[in-house]
Amino acid sequence: MMAEMQLDVMRPGCPAEVDTVAEEIPVAFEFNGISHTVMLATPRDLKDFALGFSLTEGIIERRGEVFDIEIEEAAEGITLRIEIAGGAFSRLKERRRSLAGRTGCGLCGAESLQQVMRDLPRVTSNEVFRLSALYEGMRFLPAQQALQQTTGAVHAACHVDATGNIRHVREDVGRHNALDKTLGALAGIDAGNEGALLITSRASFEMVQKCAALGYGVLAAVSAPTAAAVRLADKLNVTLVGFLRGSSCAIYTHAQRLQESVI
């Protein structure tokens, strides 16, 4: 399926013109033939989405527990058929939940507080990261947001390395989905957990949780964090940065990781 569509629109006092809008369709996740959840998402980079979601939700513990990912398109949406190891599937059945995903909230449908407040270990990485690398990454990111440039309706997430180079830019109508896609792309190449993650949205509780689940120590957002995100980042040893714009930002937690230069 296409990630965008074109249609004629009318603007008061102007002739009709062609506009491009982002697609938002139901994407169903099935694990070993069992339905798990449905998310509204942009139909692009879906294998990255499947892998990233499986990892950040704790359904699998490592990339090798996913044996196969099949994408099945139908008139009503897309189904991701994910084959996982028996041990992972047994764990999933024990903590299984039924949720209906929303683009604005990644926690809709959780059945208990324990499912929301996952018991994650603190991030162990002590990598010192230059602030200038974050500024460089955010400066170059808009040029690689192809879908945002044409539709103006999607979020992006990416990885930035110590020199400011960005890679694995992924876009989606859902900010959580964009981050899952980027994390899935990184896991697919066994990239480790060095570097920082950039997001073109606010930093919410679950965004911090997803980064910490994969061991990333720096999450930087173009907008503000929530109070819950700040508390969780502090608890899990994640450096949380907000309002990353131009050559300025606000560092909310664990500022010791960020330096203007590394000595």
CA–CA separation, 258 and 126 (whole Å): 10
14 annotated active-site: no
Contact between residue 222 and residue 138 where contact means Cβ atoms under 8 Å apart? yes
CA–CA separation, 57 and 88 (whole Å): 12
| Residue-wise DSSP of 148-179 | HHHHS--EEEEEE-TTS-EEEEEEESSHHHHH
One of 105, 158, 211, 249 is an active-site residue; which one? 105
Beta bridge partners of 166: 160
CA–CA separation, 210 and 55 (whole Å): 8
CA–CA separation, 144 and 22 (whole Å): 16
Residue 185 vs residues 20, 109, 189, 190: alpha-carbon distances, Å: 26, 26, 7, 9
- Rg over alpha carbons for the chain, rounded to the nearest Å, is 19
Residue type, 41: A
**3-class DSSP assignment, residue 53:** helix
CA–CA separation, 159 and 182 (whole Å): 7
Residues that are catalytic: 105
